[in-house]
Amino acid sequence: MRAILFGLALSALSPLAPAWADDAAALPENKQTVQKLYLTAAEAYENVVQSPQEVLFLDVRSPGEVAFVGMATVADANVPHMIQPASPAWDDKRATFKMESNPGFIDEVRARLQAKGLDQDAAIVLICRSGDRSAKAANELAKAGFGNVWSVTDGFEGDLAKDGPLAGTRSVNGWKNAGLPWSYKLDKAKMHGM
């Protein structure tokens, strides 16, 4: 057993988990957090469904991503860590629209915790597309005094396949690829700003 999250032993790793999933030191730098608390999508699902009242499970992707790609049905809310600015701007380096920090991120996390009857020391599990934004969001929460923040290292869509017929697609691991429950139908009460 790798770790204990909410007093429950974590299960064996998903067969879709990357080689580094059981070795936090081998995580790519962009997926590492200061608290070093990590879960695969399968582990996050197992722990959230076993202890739904003891954990806050947040999708930190942008509202657009959630609307067009879907969302885990067991997530408590979409609280984006990054949002598009009011006036769209282009990022030439990344060949996409620029994103900026969500100025209300910490306050919205606090409000979601309070609505669930939890405090700042409760377990918070964060998921993004592939594990890098959730790591950044976890670090921001840690800096703000939250002491039990977990990052889903393979995210909702997973990592990019490096070779083979699916090279360049997010087909290696992640929530959707593990066959975990998700939907395009969104719950208004779970959406950012609602």
Strand partners, 127: 59
Q: Is residue 161 a part of any domain in this protein?
A: yes
Residue 10's pLDDT is 35
Residue 17's pLDDT is 38
Residue 20's pLDDT is 42
Q: Is residue 194 a part of any domain in this protein?
A: no
- The span from the first CA to the last CA of the chain, in angstroms, equals 39
CB 152 within 8 A of CB 40: yes
**Conformational region of residue 101, where left means phi above 0, alpha means psi within -120 to 50, and beta covers everything else:** beta
**How far apart are alpha carbons 181 and 176 in whole angstroms?**
8
Q: Please give the structure tokens belonging to residue 147.
A: 């002491």
Q: Is residue 178 a part of any domain in this protein?
A: yes
CA distances from 16 to 50, 101, 121, 180 (A): 21, 31, 31, 12
Q: Dmax of the chain from CA atoms?
A: 48
Q: Is residue 66 a part of any domain in this protein?
A: yes
Look up residue 26 and give its DSSP letter: G
Q: Is residue 17 a part of any domain in this protein?
A: no
User: What is the span of the domain harbouring residue 45?
Assistant: 30-183
Q: Is residue 143 a part of any domain in this protein?
A: yes
pLDDT, one tens digit for every residue, the chain (194 residues) = 234 454 433 333 333 334 444 566 788 999 999 999 999 999 999 999 999 999 999 999 999 999 999 999 999 999 999 998 889 899 999 898 999 999 999 999 999 999 999 999 999 999 999 999 999 999 999 999 999 999 999 999 998 888 889 888 788 899 999 999 999 999 999 999 87
Q: Is residue 8 a part of any domain in this protein?
A: no
Residue 23's pLDDT is 64
**Conformational region of residue 164, where left means phi above 0, alpha means psi within -120 to 50, and beta covers everything else:** left
Pairing of strands 182-183, 71-72: antiparallel
Residue 163's pLDDT is 87
Residue 166's pLDDT is 85
Residue 94's pLDDT is 87
Q: How many domains in the chain?
A: 1
Instruction: Give me the residue label for tokens 């977990």.
Output: 150
> In what side-by-side order are the strands of the sheet with 123-127?
38-39, 149-152, 123-127, 55-59, 77-78
Which CATH number belongs to the domain containing residue 164 in this structure? 3.40.250.10
Q: pTM of the predicted model, to two decimals?
A: 0.86
Residue 1's pLDDT is 28
Q: Is residue 109 a part of any domain in this protein?
A: yes
